[in-house]
Structure 1
Amino acid sequence: MIKVVAAILEKENKILIAKKREGKPLAGLWEFPGGKIEEGETPEESLIRELMEEMNIKVRVNEYVGESIYDYGDGKVISLKGFTAEIIEGDIKLTDHDEYKWVTLEEICNYRIAPADIPLISNI
């Protein structure tokens, strides 16, 4: 099982979603930003590192939202842990995504969300 984390970043009653870049796994789908937990990292440490690498932002990890386990097939099962977080420094510069948007919970259903991220939406 692949262990990954995702940040639910909130600002002015909106949530940040990002679209995976072409050539990446899940290209074209929207997701909560995050990534794989490296050996020896806590989920919170991983989230801080991943958001610096993928978006050039420093975040404070706040509350645990929940876990989603999803089987993408071909033996690829992921355990996705979601956390609320806030940007404390930096401006978003994308390296792993084509674009990002701040959306309301009502608007999020208008986007093709990565399957593992969908269960986290109901926990927000």
Structure 2
Amino acid sequence: MIEVAAAIIENERGQILIARRKKGKSQEGMWEFPGGKIEQGESAEACLRRELLEEMQIEIRPYAYFGVNDHYYGATHIRLIAYIATYVSGVITLVDHDDYRWVRREELGEFDFAPADVRFVEALMGRMND
């Protein structure tokens, strides 16, 4: 199992940051909540701060656990752990993505998200019953 953290980053207008995986990456062309693999001995929150600085050159503050989703990409088991975070500072510079958008919750359904992220999209849009 691979543990991965995802950040649901909100700006001062209540919009959420999403990013599209660039060509050559797994799930290329699909949208996701940015984040990355959790390293040995690292918390999900520390992972998100590190990954967003590395991948987007921005500083965030994860502040609330949002949920977990176990997903299988074939034989690969991913445990995606999501946290709500606040955008703190920096200018977004893309490394592992080729596009990003700040969107309202109700707009999330207009984007083709990576399968592991879909559960969080549904929860954010109020479509989950559990």
Consecutive aligned runs of 4 or more in structure 1 exceeding 2 Å deviation: 121-124
Kindly state the Cα deviation for residue 97 of structure 1 after the two structures are TM-superposed.
0.1
Residue 76 of structure 2: aligned partner: 76
Kindly state the Cα deviation for residue 89 of structure 1 after the two structures are TM-superposed.
1.8
Q: Distance in 2 between matches of 1:113 and 1:123?
A: 13
Amino acid at match of 1:112: D
Percent sequence identity is: 46
Q: Distance in 1 between matches of 2:14 and 2:33?
A: 15
Kindly state the Cα deviation for residue 123 of structure 1 after the two structures are TM-superposed.
3.3
Kindly state the Cα deviation for residue 108 of structure 1 after the two structures are TM-superposed.
0.9
Amino acid at match of 2:56: M
- Structure 1 unaligned runs (5+)? none
Q: Distance in 1 between matches of 2:5 and 2:123?
A: 15
TM-score of the superposed pair, with normalisation by structure 2: 0.91
Higher helix share: 2
Residue 48 of structure 2: aligned partner: 47
TM-score of the superposed pair, with normalisation by structure 1: 0.95
Kindly state the Cα deviation for residue 6 of structure 1 after the two structures are TM-superposed.
0.3
Residue 105 of structure 1: aligned partner: 105
Residue 118 of structure 2: aligned partner: 118
Residue 33 of structure 2: aligned partner: 32
Amino acid at match of 1:33: P
